[in-house]
Amino acid sequence: MTRDIRVGDAALLANLERNIAFFASTTLLVLAGVLTLFAQVERLEAVIGSIPFADFPNHAAIQLKLGVLAFIFIMSFFQFTWSMRQYGFLNVMIGAAPYDTSGMDDNLRAYAKEMAIVQDQAAHSYNYGLRSYYFSIAAMCWFFHPILFIFASLFVVFTLYDREFRSRAVKAITSGQEYLRIEQTKKSRSKY
Would you give per-residue pLDDT tens digits along the chain (192 residues)?
A: 667 777 888 888 888 899 999 999 999 999 999 999 999 999 999 888 888 888 888 889 999 999 999 999 999 999 999 999 999 999 889 888 887 777 777 888 888 899 999 999 999 999 999 999 999 999 999 998 999 999 999 999 999 999 999 999 988 888 877 877 787 777 767 665
Name residue 189's amino acid. Answer: R
What is this structure's pTM?
0.82
